[in-house]
Amino acid sequence: MDTVVEALRAALPAAAVATDPETLSRCSHDDAEWAEYGTPAAVVFAGTVEHVVAAVRVAAEHGAPVVPRGAGTGLSGGANATNGCLVLSLERMTAITEVDVAERYAVAEAGVLNDDLRRHVVAHGLWYPPDPASQAISTLGGNVATNAGGICCVKYGVTRDYVIGMTVVLADGSIAKLGRTTAKGVTGYDLTGLFVGSEGTLGIVVDVTVKLRPLAGREERAIVGYFGSLTDAGRAVAAVSAAGIVPSALELIDRTCLHAVAQWQGWELPEQSEALLLAKVDEPGARGDELAAAVARLLRDAGGDRVERASDPDEVDRLFAARRLAYPALERLGPVLTEDVCVPRSAVPEMLARIEAAATAADVVIANIAHAGDGNLHPLIVAPDGDDDAKARAKIAFDRIVDDCRALGGTVTGEHGVGLLKLPGAAEELSPTVLGLHRAIKNALDPAGILNPGKAFPNGD
């Protein structure tokens, strides 16, 4: 590896290559602390496409693994280093290079934070909908790598629905410009779609072209439902779906999460119920009023102890902020093993009941947050720091939840990616034929297997 580091230093500016122990440690893993990771030989902080090309060419020449990295906010180990690898950080590539108001698209480098893009295009009267809970700290490149969703995705879709083009550095250091800027286009295979969700295993995404929506025309109305049990809240989710209503948000947060956020932030939050459903509709005028009333009625009929049309914007913002802050709040209690299962919306009540059963059987604390409107559940399994027995029980609960999800017709990851943590579940979910297709695509684009080896799908290294 000394030879690789020497070659990197010869090919790149001195400030772009780091080998000090503190930086190597900081950049060796993402937020999935339960996933294994090694120590990289070097971290390259690319500031330009040319830096990425130079780093990849050095890695290819020496057969060194390359692990792409954005902000390191991932929750599946997708950015975890292997011993002796090159971690290639895109965090310094933060330029928004174009906003086309007439055609409604933007071009941004991979290191741009999701929130920064959203704020930037608002000034042009435009809106970028994908809004993962980590939107303030996660990069567009990372969002693309995992096909991130968010609170708005129940109505407006996930990252893949907005990425229409990108620039990618391939495993040999060549540059490919994919996609289009037109409203329609079907020339050739959808290679842009292929790279979204590929977790850095097929190429290094250095910029993305995303389509935007007009900001005007949305009139948000919020509804809050308080429930005596998770299962009742799940029934309300299924009822909204069965009624054909597509809210702009339908989020679940349980009492454990509310308490953790309240203690951390010093907020007064409604902790008296077992679960809250936070719903929004954003149709304008009378139609919006009708939908809000219909959602409120469905929540009551499903067992809501109290259902309110939220009129205080500050209170609504606080509740949705509590939803976004639930994960870091729970991390203060100990290491958190985060699930990312997605089931059919009709199966949400049963899946929530099975999560409670898994917690009881394994004798662990499982807090629950969810993009409930599209069946994407995030059980958060908490184990006290240093308690190896609790950690082992948490892993048992984790595996049981994955099995239950698949038994209900679900998928083992809705938006966090397979990374390392979900490799066993992916092996069960993907058929041998489909795994063969994955291997064929990987071998075609990365024949030496240097790009993020061992991630995204079983036997992918």
Over residues 437-453, the pLDDT tens digits come to 999 999 999 999 999 99
Lowest mean pLDDT among 105-119, 221-235, 260-274, 447-461: 447-461
pLDDT single digits (tens) 103-112: 999 999 999 9
> For 282-335, where are the E strands, in sequence order?
304-310
In the block, tokens 């795994």 appear at 435
The stretch 430-437 carries a mean pLDDT of: 96
Q: Are residues 143 and 247 in the same domain?
A: no
State how far the alpha carbon of 30 is from the alpha carbons of 67, 76, 226, 266, in Å. 11, 8, 34, 28
Residue at which a domain ends, from 359, 382, 407:
407
* Same domain as 397, residue 302: yes
Residues 131 and 205 in one domain: yes
What is residue 83's predicted lDDT score, i.e. its pLDDT?
A: 96
Give the separation between CA 197 and CA 174, rounded to whole angstroms: 21
User: Going by C-beta distance under 8 Å and a sequence separation of 6 or more, which residues neighbour residue 38?
Assistant: 28, 80, 81, 82, 83, 84, 85
- Determine the Cα–Cα distance for residues 75 and 216; give it in Å rounded to an integer: 34
Q: What is the pLDDT of residue 461?
A: 44
pLDDT at site 460: 47
- 216/334 Cα distance (integer angstroms): 42
**Are 272 and 308 within one domain?**
yes
SS3 45: strand
With respect to residue 445, please indicate whether it lies within any of the assigned structural domains. Answer: no
* DSSP secondary structure code for residue 130 in this structure: -
- pLDDT score recorded for residue 459: 73
Residue range(s) defining the domain that contains residue 350 = 221-407
Residue 42 lies in a domain: yes
Residues 107 and 123 in one domain: yes
Separation of alpha carbons 377 and 370, rounded Å: 4
Mean of all residue pLDDT scores within the chain: 95
* Residue 175: partners with Cβ closer than 8 Å, 6 or more residues away: 49, 53, 167, 168, 169
Neighbours of 321 (CB within 10 A): 14
Judge contact between 79 and 33, C-beta under 8 A.
no
Please give the structure tokens belonging to residue 381: 């399994």
Residue 19 lies in a domain: yes
Nearest Cα to 423, choosing from 399, 440, 444, 441? 399
**247 shares a domain with 277:** yes
Residue 422 falls inside a structural domain: no
**Would you call 85 exposed, middle or buried from its count of C-beta atoms within 10 A (0-12, 13-18, 19+)?**
buried
CATH code for position 48: 3.30.43.10
- Average pLDDT for 79-107: 98
Beta bridge partners of 338: 380
Residue 104: which of 52, 181, 33, 50 has the closest Cα?
181
Nearest to 207 by CA among 162, 163, 263, 238: 163
Contact, 419 vs 456, CB < 8 A? yes
Say which DSSP state 261 is in.
Answer: H
Q: What CATH number did the domain enclosing 257 receive? A: 3.40.462.10
SS3 (DSSP) at 132: coil
Instruction: Give whole-number Cα distances, 382 to 260, 327, 335, 353, 358, in Å.
Output: 12, 10, 6, 18, 13
Please identify, among 89, 116, 142, the residue that sits at the C-terminal boundary of a domain: 89
Is residue 214 classed exposed, middle or buried when 0-12, 13-18 and 19+ CB atoms within 10 A define those classes?
A: exposed
d(Cα 126, Cα 212) in Å, to the nearest integer? Answer: 6
Q: Is pLDDT at 210 greater than 90 in this prediction? A: yes
* Spatial separation of the C-alpha atoms in residues 455 and 81, rounded to whole Å: 11
Q: Confidence class of residue 217 from pLDDT cuts 50, 70 and 90?
A: confident
Residues 225, 210, single domain; the answer is no
Tokens of 11: 């090919």
Would 131 be classed as within a structural domain? yes
In a domain, 443, yes or no: no
Confidence of residue 176 (pLDDT cuts 50, 70, 90): very high
Is residue 397 in a domain? yes
Total count of residues recorded for the chain: 461
93 in helix, strand or coil?
coil
Same domain, 111 and 138: yes
Q: Does residue 395 sit in the same domain as residue 292?
A: yes
CB atoms within 10 A of CB 316: 18
- In the chain, the percentage of residues whose pLDDT exceeds 90 is 92
Report d(CA 252, CA 288) in Å as an integer.
21
pTM given for the model: 0.94
Give the number of domains in the chain: 3
Whether residues 101 and 173 share a domain: the answer is yes
DSSP single-letter state for residue 114: H
**Paired sense of beta strands 304-310 and 204-211, if any:** unpaired
pLDDT at 96 over 70: yes
Same domain for 112 and 199? yes
- What's the CATH number where 136 sits? 3.30.465.10
pLDDT digits (tens, 9 = 90+) for 330-341: 999 889 999 999
Q: Is the pLDDT of residue 38 over 70?
A: yes
At 298-322, the pLDDT tens digits run: 999 999 999 999 878 888 888 899 9
Say if 453 falls within a structural domain: no
Angle, CA of 340, 346 and 349, to the nearest 5°: 70
Among 164, 184, 214, identify where a domain stops: 214
The band of 63, judged by pLDDT with boundaries at 50, 70 and 90, is: very high
- List 337's β-bridge partners, or say none: 381
Q: Are residues 241 and 174 in the same domain?
A: no
